[in-house]
C-alpha cells in the first residue's frame, strides 16, 4: 500500500505502539480531538463521559482553566531549564507543598519524570542507604504478590511475579522476595494469622533486605483489590522490628483517591520512602516525586559516593511543576474530601449487580468502584458497547472499574454506573 494514502487510524495501527498491545493485532484506538471537564470528544463527534481519569491522573477534569492559566504563565517565563546547578520557583513551591502535606518525617524530595522512575529512585535510595551504613549485603527487596510498581526493570522486579511476566525477563531482573498477597479485605474482619508467613519471611531474609515495598491499601493495576489497614500496620511494625525500610508506592492512591489524602493514613502509619505520581499534575504532564526521611538522606550523603546517584535530564521540569502547583491548590479549594465521599456514596449502587450470574465481586473504596467478573471480558467488544453508551471505561481481564475525575456530577457518574450495570448482561463481551 502506498503510505501516502493510509488514514490516520491505519497509520496508528501499523506504526505506533500503544500500552500493552500487539503490533500485528492491535485493539482499536479511538481518536480524541479534545476533552473538557469530564467529557472526551472523539473525532467522530461523539462525547464520552470519562470514567478512568486517564489512569488515576486527571482528578480535576480536562482543560481546567486554573491549570491552563498556571501553565500559560509558566511557558512565558521558562518551560525548561536543567536542574543541575539551577533551581526555580515552581520546583521550590511544589516541594514546599509536598513536604507540608506529607508526614513530618518525610522532608527530602526527589523530583522524577514518571511513576516508574520514582520507584527506581526509591529503590536506589534504599540500597544506597544500606551501602552507606556499611551493610551492602542489604540489597534485596521484599514485597507482596499481586502488586504493580511500574514497567522499568527494578519496578518490574517487585510487580506480581506471574502477571508481571517475570519469566520473560528472567536472568536480567533482580530477584525479590514475595510474600503472599494480603487476604483480608478492607471492609472485612482482620485475621491475625494473616501476617504469620510475612513475619517468617522477614525473619528469614532481613539480613539481605534493603526495603519492603507495597501499594498502601489498594493493589491497583495488579488486581484492583482493597486490603485491610491492619495489614499495612503490621508491615510497618515488621519493618521496624527487622530493620528494613518501608517504601509506600502511592502513585495511584495519593491525593485523595481512597478517601484519605494518602492511603497509608487508613493504617495511621508513615513510610520511610514515599512515591507519588499520576494525579500530581492533575494529569497534565508526567511528573513524579520520591520523598524520604532526613536520616536516609543524611546517610546516603555521608557514604562513599557522597551524593545520591540519579539525575534525569528533565528533572523538576518547571512546566510540569507549575501544573502540579495549580492542581494541588485545586485539591484544597475543591474540598476533595467531600468530592470523594459523594462519589463513594453513588458508587455503592454498583452493588446492585453483586449477585448477577456473571459477577464475582463488587467493591467500592473512595472514588474507586470495581466490578470483578467471573470470566475475562473481551476488551474490544466491551469498549465498543461503552463508546456507544457515551462513556469511557476501559476494563482489563476480569475487572470493570470506574475511577472518575473528582469533579464529576452525580448525573454523569450515574451514567457510568448504569453503563457498567448494563454491559455485564451482554453475551458478546464474554468472548
Ligand X SMILES: *Cc1c(COP(=O)(O)O)cnc(C)c1O
Least CB distance to ligand X at residue 221 (A): 6
Q: Is the dihedral of CA 252, 255, 257, 263 positive or negative?
A: positive
Name 276's bridge partners.
289
Task: Considering the candidates 138, 145, 260, 278, report the single residue annotated as catalytic.
Answer: 278
DSSP, res 134: T
Residue 249 a catalytic site member:
yes
d(CA 102, CA 293) in angstroms, rounded, equals: 11
Which grid coordinates are listed for 222? 495488579
Binds ligand X (CB under 6 A): choice among 58, 251, 353, 368: 251
Residue 93 a catalytic site member:
no
Burial (0-12, 13-18, 19+ Cβ within 10 Å), 273:
buried
Question: Which residue from 261, 259, 292 is spatially nearest to 275, judged by alpha carbons?
Answer: 292
224 vs 359, beta carbon nearer ligand X? 224
Least CB distance to ligand X at residue 398 (A): 18
Stretch 134-153: interaction string toward ligand X, x if CB under 6 A = --------------xxx---
116 is in an annotated binding site: yes
155 vs 300, beta carbon nearer ligand X? 155
Stretch 85-124: interaction string toward ligand X, x if CB under 6 A = -----------------------------xxx--x-----
Based on the shown chain and the rule CB under 6 A, indicate whether residue 52 belongs to the binding site for ligand X: no
Q: Is the dihedral of CA 318, 323, 328, 329 positive or negative?
A: positive
Residue 148 a catalytic site member:
yes
d(CA 216, CA 264) in angstroms, rounded, equals: 5
Based on the shown chain and the rule CB under 6 A, indicate whether residue 289 belongs to the binding site for ligand X: no
For cell 511557558, what's the residue?
75
DSSP, res 212: E
Stretch 381-420: interaction string toward ligand X, x if CB under 6 A = ----------------------------------------
The answer to whether residues 245 and 212 touch, using CB atoms and an 8 Å cutoff, is yes
Binding residues for pyridoxal 5'-phosphate: 115-116, 249, 312-313
Instruction: Write out the catalytic residue numbers.
Output: 20, 148, 249, 278
- Which residues contact ligand X (rule: CB under 6 A)? 114-116, 119, 148-150, 215, 220-221, 249, 251-252, 277-278
Amino acid at each position: 500500500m502506498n503510505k501516502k494514502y493510509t488514514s490516520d487510524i491505519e497509520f496508528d495501527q501499523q506504526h505506533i505502539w500503544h500500552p500493552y498491545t500487539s503490533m500485528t493485532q492491535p485493539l482499536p484506538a479511538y481518536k480524541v480531538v479534545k476533552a473538557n471537564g469530564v467529557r472526551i470528544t472523539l473525532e467522530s463527534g461523539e462525547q464520552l463521559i470519562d470514567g478512568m481519569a486517564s489512569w488515576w491522573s486527571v482528578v480535576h477534569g480536562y482543560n481546567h482553566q486554573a491549570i491552563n492559566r498556571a501553565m500559560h504563565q509558566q511557558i512565558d517565563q521558562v518551560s525548561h531549564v536543567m536542574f543541575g546547578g539551577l533551581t526555580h520557583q515552581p520546583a521550590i513551591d511544589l516541594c514546599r507543598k509536598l513536604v507540608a502535606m506529607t508526614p513530618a518525617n518525610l522532608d527530602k524530595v526527589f523530583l522524577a519524570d514518571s511513576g516508574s522512575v520514582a520507584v527506581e529512585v526509591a529503590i536506589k535510595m534504599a540500597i544506597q542507604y544500606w551501602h552507606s551504613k556499611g551493610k551492602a549485603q542489604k540489597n534485596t527487596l521484599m514485597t507482596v504478590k499481586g502488586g504493580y510498581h511500574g514497567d522499568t526493570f527494578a519496578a518490574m522486579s517487585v510487580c506480581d511475579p506471574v502477571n508481571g511476566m517475570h519469566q520473560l525477563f528472567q536472568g536480567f531482573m533482580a530477584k525479590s522476595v514475595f510474600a503472599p498477597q494480603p487476604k483480608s479485605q478492607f471492609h472485612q474482619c482482620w485475621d491475625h494469622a494473616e501476617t504469620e508467613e510475612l513475619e517468617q519471611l522477614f525473619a528469614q531474609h532481613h539480613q539481605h533486605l534493603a526495603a519492603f515495598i507495597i501499594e498502601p491499601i489498594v493493589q491497583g493495576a495488579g488486581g484492583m483489590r482493597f486490603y485491610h489497614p491492619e495489614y499495612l500496620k503490621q508491615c510497618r511494625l515488621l519493618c521496624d522490628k527487622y530493620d528494613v525500610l518501608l517504601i509506600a508506592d502511592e502513585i495511584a492512591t495519593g491525593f485523595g483517591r481512597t478517601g484519605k489524602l494518602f492511603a497509608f493514613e487508613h493504617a495511621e502509619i508513615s513510610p520511610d520512602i514515599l512515591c507519588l505520581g499520576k494525579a500530581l499534575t492533575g494529569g497534565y504532564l508526567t511528573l513524579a516525586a520520591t520523598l524520604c526521611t532526613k536520616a536516609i538522606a543524611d546517610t546516603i550523603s555521608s557514604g562513599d559516593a557522597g551524593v545520591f546517584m540519579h539525575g534525569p535530564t528533565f528533572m523538576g521540569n518547571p512546566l510540569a511543576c507549575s501544573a502540579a502547583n495549580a492542581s494541588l491548590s485545586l485539591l484544597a479549594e475543591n474540598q476533595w474530601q467531600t468530592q470523594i465521599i459523594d462519589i463513594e456514596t453513588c458508587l455503592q449502587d454498583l452493588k446492585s449487580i453483586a449477585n448477577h450470574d456473571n459477577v464475582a465481586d463488587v467493591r467500592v473504596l473512595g472514588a474507586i468502584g470495581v466490578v470483578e467478573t467471573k470470566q475475562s471480558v473481551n476488551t474490544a467488544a466491551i469498549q465498543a458497547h461503552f463508546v456507544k453508551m457515551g462513556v469511557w471505561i476501559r476494563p482489563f481481564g476480569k475487572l470493570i472499574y470506574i475511577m472518575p475525575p473528582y469533579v464529576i456530577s452525580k448525573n454523569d457518574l450515574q451514567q457510568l454506573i448504569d453503563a457498567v450495570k448494563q454491559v455485564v448482561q451482554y453475551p458478546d463481551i464474554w468472548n
